[in-house]
């Protein structure tokens, strides 16, 4: 490398972990056999679930829209192969809850036939808005794991002035190597995607951060950059410290800037995307292809041949494992994601989705069952390693006591759940579990509060409406009385009674139409009519 | 000029009327203590406390006519919050008013509903959609689980059911403190 | 001035699986049909057909499509009963079950019992 090493910064805390990357980087990326059935959850992203636009029995082609983004923060979903929409039903999804969610079940026809019109496209004339729309139409979400709709991140709002794009190729979590393989194999396309992202954001500068435990990826990107030089783009080798791949941490390392607490990077002029997202943008712009597959690492001692696969969304985890030689007898736990931030799957029948980056079939030796939890000895090790600069011990005490006000005072929502604190805790306290519990409990409380506020409004409005109806009834009655009194002036009481009956009938007819206008009735005439109503309503 | 004067006097009159109307209409809501208490109540409007809804119960508490442990839907959490607000000692829920139960919502059996509207009249929060001889349907997201619709139904077609968990409502469990765990109570 | 010419209303439709209440503002003088059309609820539920068989109302009371709206009104689109009320009553009588208050009469009962 010819350029002198640029300055790098450090973030607070973090851990040096053994990488376990080489296990899965020995073989080139391959595609597993085309699955018979793909299960495509309508919500594979942060935001509202996509709205299906196909019905059961529809024959679809590869790349065809299955479900459209519903609202701004949402993402479209496309068919990963051609076939028949077999059902749209609840299916188990990869989620820590183990819950099912509405999914399109697509039966493959084996033809794998692309939809027409997706030939090479010229992205050169597209402006920022058109690029953003294409990213949205292609259903692209952040492929680093959070699966936030990418088009939203490309629209920082008119008042924010952006300076640079940061491409995240850090891939800091042990065992995961899909971004590594992607950078090795698709470096030129990633750079093309980076250029398109810069154009969409209106920035000229792009830093690509890669941890120094991935020399092949670094070399591949350097070479690709040398082949098509771009003065705005720089590849930066960053030290391997978990969790450098966290958005705020990588920004700190590369620029020395701190993203404000509770804030987003755009507030300091930066937008951060994963290298996989850049590749997806390249494919969408230059080939017109929507996001239908991704690289996924299948690794751990529990799988025969750990490697990376290019997998269509909706493929069951079992088929990924089968494509890697199946389970070994050491297979103990099935984790989706990495050992630090992933979660256990109850079944391998769940499909992989846009946010899935790794299937870890861990042996008991790799991920031993945690030992007994001991009391907190207030050693402060958790505080030393927290990359978000929080006070994990305080958070733990308050989450444990369910003191949600205090948990928020201590910024629980800035916790990125990286697991550093729990890893170093000598008492093996499941700290992250406490923070996760507190976060979802706070959300639940907020929902309860909103629901209670709505119920209060509905109830009040109902009481007012009943009041109004009562008054209107009273007004109608008093009108009748008034009519009666007028006719009462006659001397003959019999005649008067007949007249009164006629008047009542007339008033009843008229009253139906013009009830609201008769509020000027004499007070005295209303009393007897409302007494009954009043007795009814005054009952406590 | 004249039009401006007219416009402003018109506006003045309009706002005056509006304020006067608002003052009479929302008169009862002016007590901030009552509102504070009311904001802690679950707004189920079930009447189990012995009052005609949450706001009347809040008023009674503010006047010292009711205790803080009369709300079964709010349960322990509400009692604690009321105790904090009013500077009193928390006490267990008064069993005379009922017991704390998991949150349920009403569900109408469509095969049996005869469209009588009695449940609609009983629902304190307008959470049932329907009219005479039309299908009645509970709006699940607005049902407070007060159970006031159950009793009036002449054909017993309303059941209280658990709200199905969804991705939006799922919560991480409180970390288990199972047998292998040494208590770290300080 | 906008607020003077418009009123807030809601349009609602419900099935056991799916309930939707849409909030919108309509011009003063708008009728039920106007609100339904403006709300877009017909696009969300293709099964609703705006024909003579459609029953609509406001807060539990049947009304005509051309009935004018007032602020805060909830326009409700109804679905027909599945059961035949007479048949249900007959069956319950046969099973010896008590038939509650008989129903059908709409009064101004308070929602909250004392």
* Structural domains of chain B ordered from first start: 32-97 (1.10.15.40), 102-165 (3.30.70.20)
> Average pLDDT, stretch B90-98?
94
Closest CA to A321 of A340, A342, A296, A341: A296
Q: Which of A358-362, C42-46, C83-87 has the highest mean pLDDT?
A: A358-362
3-state secondary structure of A480: helix
Q: What pLDDT does residue A489 have? A: 57
> Average pLDDT, stretch B152-170?
92
Q: For residue range A5-17, list pLDDT tens digits in order.
A: 788 999 999 999 9
> Average pLDDT, stretch B160-175?
91
Q: What pLDDT does residue A58 have? A: 95
Buried-state track A511-526, b at ≥16 Cβ within 10 A, e below 16: beeeeeebeebeeebb
Residue matched to tokens 């928020």: A408
Question: Comparing B87 with C105, which gets the higher pLDDT?
Answer: B87
β-strand pairing of A358-362 with C19-27: unpaired
Domains of chain A: 22-110+132-360 (3.40.50.11540), 372-478 (no CATH)
Considering only CB atoms, which chain C residues are within 8 Å of A465? 59, 72
Q: For residue range A443-502, list pLDDT tens digits in order.
A: 999 999 999 999 999 999 999 999 999 999 999 999 998 888 776 554 556 666 677 777
Q: Could you tell me the two tokens for A239?
A: 């030290």
C-alpha–C-alpha distance, residues B3 and B9, integer Å: 10
Q: For residue range A513-537, list pLDDT tens digits in order.
A: 444 444 444 443 333 333 344 334 3
- Contacts of residue A123, Cβ cutoff 8 Å, sequence gap at least 6: A131, A134, A196, A285, A286
Residue matched to tokens 């003063």: C28
Given CB atoms, is B66 within the 8 Å cutoff of chain C? no
Residue C10 near residue C24 (C-beta atoms within 8 A): yes
Given CB atoms, is B59 within the 8 Å cutoff of chain A? no
**ipTM exceeding the 0.90 mark:** no
Contact flag A437-B38 (C-beta cutoff 8 Å): no
Q: For B115, name the nearest residue in chain C, comparing CA atoms only.
A: C81
C-alpha–C-alpha distance, residues A236 and A211, integer Å: 8
Chain C: nearest CA to B174, how far in angstroms? 30
Given CB atoms, is C55 within the 8 Å cutoff of chain B? yes
Mean pLDDT, chain A, integer: 90
C-alpha–C-alpha distance, residues C7 and B178, integer Å: 57
Write down which chains contact chain A via at least 3 CB pairs under 8 A: B, C
C-alpha–C-alpha distance, residues A45 and A499, integer Å: 74
List own/partner pairs for A130-134 with CB under 8 A and 24 or more apart: A131/A196, A131/A199, A131/A200, A131/A285, A132/A200, A134/A284, A134/A285
Q: For residue range A31-54, list pLDDT tens digits in order.
A: 999 999 999 999 999 999 999 999
Secondary structure (DSSP) of C56-78 = EEETTEEE-TT-B--TT-EEEE-
Secondary structure (DSSP) of A276-313 = HHHHHHHHHHHS-----EEEEEEESTTBSS-EEEEEET
Q: For residue range A195-229, list pLDDT tens digits in order.
A: 999 999 999 999 999 999 999 999 999 999 999 99
Give the gyration radius of chain A's Cα atoms.
32
Question: Comparing A337 with B178, which gets the higher pLDDT?
Answer: A337
Q: What pLDDT does residue C113 have? A: 37
Say yes or no to pLDDT of A253 above 70: yes
Looking at residue A260, what DSSP letter applies? Answer: P
Q: Pick the residue of C73, C108, C112 with the most A CBs within 10 A to test the interface with A by mutation.
A: C108
Q: Where are the beta strands (DSSP E) in chain B?
A: 104-108, 128-129, 137-138, 158-162
Buried-state track A299-320, b at ≥16 Cβ within 10 A, e below 16: bbbbbbebbbbbbbbbbbbbbb
Domains of chain C: 3-78 (3.10.20.30)
Q: Pick the residue of C46, C59, C64 with the most A CBs within 10 A to test the interface with A by mutation.
A: C59
């Amino acid at each position: 490398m010819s350029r002198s090493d640029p300055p790098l910064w450090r973030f607070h805390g973090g851990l040096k972990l053994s990488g376990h990357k080489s296990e899965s980087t020995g073989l080139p990326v391959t595609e597993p056999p085309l699955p018979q059935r793909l299960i495509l959850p309508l919500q594979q992203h942060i935001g509202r679930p996509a709205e299906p636009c196909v019905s059961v029995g529809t024959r679809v082609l590869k790349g065809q829209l299955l479900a459209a983004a519903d609202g701004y923060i949402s993402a479209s979903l496309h068919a990963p192969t051609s076939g028949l929409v077999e059902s749209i039903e609840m299916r188990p999804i990869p989620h820590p809850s183990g819950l099912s969610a509405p999914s399109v079940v697509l039966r493959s026809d084996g033809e794998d036939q692309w939809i027409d019109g997706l030939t090479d496209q010229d992205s050169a004339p597209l402006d920022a808005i058109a690029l953003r729309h294409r990213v949205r139409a292609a259903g692209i979400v952040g492929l680093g794991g959070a699966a936030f709709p990418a088009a939203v991140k490309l629209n920082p709002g008119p008042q924010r002035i952006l300076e640079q794009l940061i491409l995240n190729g850090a891939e800091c979590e042990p065992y995961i190597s899909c971004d590594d393989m992607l950078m090795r194999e698709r470096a030129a396309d990633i750079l093309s995607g980076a250029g398109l992202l810069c154009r969409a954001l209106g920035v000229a500068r792009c830093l690509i951060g890669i941890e120094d435990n991935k020399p092949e990826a670094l070399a591949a990107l350097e070479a690709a950059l040398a082949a098509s030089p771009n003065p705005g783009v720089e590849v930066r080798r960053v030290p391997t410290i978990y969790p450098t791949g966290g958005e705020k941490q990588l920004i700190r390392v590369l620029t020395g800037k701190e993203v404000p607490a509770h804030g987003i990077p755009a507030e300091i002029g930066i937008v951060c995307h994963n290298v996989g997202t850049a590749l997806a943008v390249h494919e969408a712009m230059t080939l017109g292809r929507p996001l239908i597959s991704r690289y996924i690492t299948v690794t751990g001692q529990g799988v025969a041949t750990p490697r990376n696969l290019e997998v269509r969304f909706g493929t069951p985890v079992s088929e990924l494992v089968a494509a890697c030689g199946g389970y070994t007898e050491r297979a103990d736990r099935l984790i989706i994601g990495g050992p630090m931030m992933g979660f256990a799957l109850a079944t391998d029948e769940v499909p992989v989705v846009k946010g899935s980056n790794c299937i870890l079939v861990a042996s008991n030796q790799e991920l031993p069952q945690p030992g007994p939890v001991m009391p907190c000895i207030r050693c402060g090790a958790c505080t030393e390693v927290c990359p978000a600069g929080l006070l994990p011990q305080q958070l733990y005490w308050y989450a444990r006591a369910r003191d949600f006000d205090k948990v928020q005072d201590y910024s629980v929502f800035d916790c990125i759940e990286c697991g550093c604190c729990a890893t170093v805790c000598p008492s093996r306290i499941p700290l992250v579990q406490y923070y996760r519990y507190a976060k979802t409990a706070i959300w639940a409380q907020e929902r309860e509060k909103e629901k209670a506020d709505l119920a209060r409004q509905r109830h009040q409005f109902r009481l007012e409406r009943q009041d109004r109806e009562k008054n209107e009834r009273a007004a109608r009655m008093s009108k009748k009385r008034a009519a009666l009194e007028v006719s009462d002036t006659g001397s003959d009481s019999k005649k008067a009674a007949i007249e009164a009956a006629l008047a009542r009938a007339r008033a009843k007819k008229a009253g139906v139409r013009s009830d609201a206008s008769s509020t000027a009735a004499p007070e005295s005439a209303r009393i007897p009519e409302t007494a009954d109503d009043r007795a009814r309503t005054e009952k406590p | 000029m004249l039009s401006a004067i007219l416009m402003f006097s018109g506006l003045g009159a309009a706002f005056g009327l509006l304020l006067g109307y608002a003052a009479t209409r929302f008169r009862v809501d002016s007590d901030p203590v009552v509102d504070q208490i009311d904001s802690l109540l679950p707004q189920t409007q079930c009447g189990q406390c012995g009052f005609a809804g949450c706001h009347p119960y809040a008023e009674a508490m503010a006047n010292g006519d009711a205790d803080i442990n009369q709300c079964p839907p709010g349960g322990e959490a509400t009692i604690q919050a009321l105790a904090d607000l009013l500077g009193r000692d928390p006490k267990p829920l008064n069993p005379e008013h009922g017991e704390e139960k998991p949150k349920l919502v009403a569900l109408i059996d469509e095969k049996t509903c005869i469209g009588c509207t009695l449940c609609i009249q009983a629902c304190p929060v307008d959470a049932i959609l329907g009219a005479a001889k039309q299908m009645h349907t509970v709006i699940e997201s607005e049902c407070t689980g007060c159970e006031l619709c159950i009793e009036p139904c002449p054909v017993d077609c309303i059941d209280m059911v658990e709200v199905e968990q969804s991705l939006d409502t799922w919560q991480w469990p409180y970390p288990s403190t199972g047998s292998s765990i040494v208590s770290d109570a300080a | 001035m906008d607020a003077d010419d418009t009123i807030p209303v809601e349009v609602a439709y419900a099935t056991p699986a799916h309930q939707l209440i849409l909030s919108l503002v309509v011009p003063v003088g708008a009728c039920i049909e106007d609100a339904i059309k403006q709300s877009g609820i017909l696009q969300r539920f293709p099964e609703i057909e705006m024909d003579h068989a459609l029953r609509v109302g406001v807060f539990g009371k049947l009304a005509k499509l051309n009935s004018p709206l007032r602020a805060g009104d909830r326009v409700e689109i109804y679905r027909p009963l599945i059961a035949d009320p007479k048949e249900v009553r007959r069956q319950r009588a046969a099973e010896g079950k008590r038939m509650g208050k008989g129903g059908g009469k709409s009064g101004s009962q308070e929602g909250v019992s004392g």
